Structure 1
Amino acid sequence: MKKILTLFAVIGLIAFSSCEGPEGPPGPPGSPAAAEVFEIEKVNFSATANSEIYFNFKSQTYLGDVVLVYRYDGPDPKTNRDIWVPLPDSHYYNDGGLYFTYKFDFTQDNVRIFTEGYGLSANPIPPDFVVNQIFRIVVVPGFDPIVTGKSVSKLDYYEVIKKYNIDDSNVKKLN
């Protein structure tokens, strides 16, 4: 009796697993996600205390998107190409102790760029690190539409914009 029940169970399992219905209607066409770059100019931080700046995105980012932030560090003297330093970016005293760090976090609506430091009231951050700073924010789609065998270093701004075909001359200003 057990063998007959097992046989019927196997036949029923095969019969039900091979059933197929008609294909459903196609879903709505999606638009390919595109990476974007935003630039923020004339950002000023406190030289003597931890400080932060918020910037709202002009359009909402989506769950799963990745946000990368870079700080302008001047032109490269050899190539005259702009140097973009990825955040977080830490600066240290000569003895190796942490002086201050640029950091960031983000939501779907905004990005917060901030400084954290130690003993800043006694040893302020130099003006060229806190006055008129320029930042670039790269929003990379959570679903990467460009499939390549080579991974991209998120530390290299130029590698990121090349991979995502971003027109570097058409950066959107946030302020």
Structure 2
Amino acid sequence: MKKITLLIAFIGMITLQSCTVNEVQDNVDNDTISEVFEYTNVDLTSGNGYSALLTFPHATYTSDMVLVYRLVGYGADGDVWKLLPETYYFNDGTLDFGYRNDFTRYDAQVSLFGYDLLGLPNGNRLDQVFRVVVIPAYENNKSSSGKFDFEDYNSVKEHFNLDSAKVTKIKM
């Protein structure tokens, strides 16, 4: 009886040892895509309360992060974009004016605020260009997300592999 028990135990050990599971973790998310929407000819006037609603071509996920950039100029290295909110001050340090935004799954609202908005040069109110960058939730939770500057559009573009040719352009 001892020999049969020993034989069954030996066969069981051999059988159980051959059952190994090699789990391969795939840390690459192949279906997460960042998007960029560009809105041109945006006017911020007293007639619209110095604000504009930038409607997305489709709804985003509630967990997505939305960044809004304003085109502030052109440099030797290309377009110069500033992340909203942005604030401008007089030389004495008091508030002059600024741009702010908020967003939902369907749109982003951009507003101009300050004390003498009607007195601002047209270049700060009319024909503005905004880029809305939608970053999926998966990207927000990566530990590497904190290692670059969200204020630098080119850094965001490089980190999230945003293709300039795939920017969805929307004329207001």
Q: Tell me if the contact between 1:48 and 1:125 (Cα under 8 Å) persists in the aligned partners.
A: no
Q: Determine the C-alpha separation between the residues in 2 that align with 1:158 and 1:120.
A: 30
Q: Find the counterpart in structure 2 of residue 162 from structure 1.
A: 158
- State the Cα distance separating 1:48 from its structure 2 match: 9.8
**Tell me, which stretches of 5 or more residues in structure 2 are unaligned?**
1-28
| Aligned-partner residue type, residue 65 of structure 1 | D
Deviation string, structure 1 residues 140-170 (Cα, Å, up to 9, x no partner):
0011189564622110101111111110122
Q: Find the counterpart in structure 1 of residue 94 from structure 2.
A: 97
**Number of equivalences:** 142
- State the Cα distance separating 1:126 from its structure 2 match: 1.1
Q: Determine the C-alpha separation between the residues in 2 that align with 1:56 and 1:100.
A: 24
Deviation string, structure 1 residues 74-104 (Cα, Å, up to 9, x no partner):
111xx24110011101011121110111000
| Aligned-partner residue type, residue 161 of structure 2 | N
Q: Find the counterpart in structure 2 of residue 67 from structure 1.
A: 66
Deviates more, 1:137-146 or 1:80-89: 137-146
Q: Determine the C-alpha separation between the residues in 2 that align with 1:145 and 1:68.
A: 12
TM-score scaled to structure 2, two decimals?
0.74
Secondary structure (helix, strand or coil) at the match of 1:174 reads strand
- Report 1:21-40 matches (<5 A): 32-40=31-39
Q: Tell me if the contact between 2:65 and 2:140 (Cα under 8 Å) persists in the aligned partners.
A: no
1:144 pairs with 2:143: no
- 117, 122, 139: which one pairs with 1:120? 117
Runs (4+) of structure 1 exceeding 3 A deviation are 47-50, 145-150
Overall identity of the aligned pairs, in %: 32
More helix by percentage: 2
Q: Tell me if the contact between 1:70 and 1:87 (Cα under 8 Å) persists in the aligned partners.
A: yes
**Tell me, which stretches of 5 or more residues in structure 1 are unaligned?**
1-29
Q: Tell me if the contact between 1:49 and 1:120 (Cα under 8 Å) persists in the aligned partners.
A: no
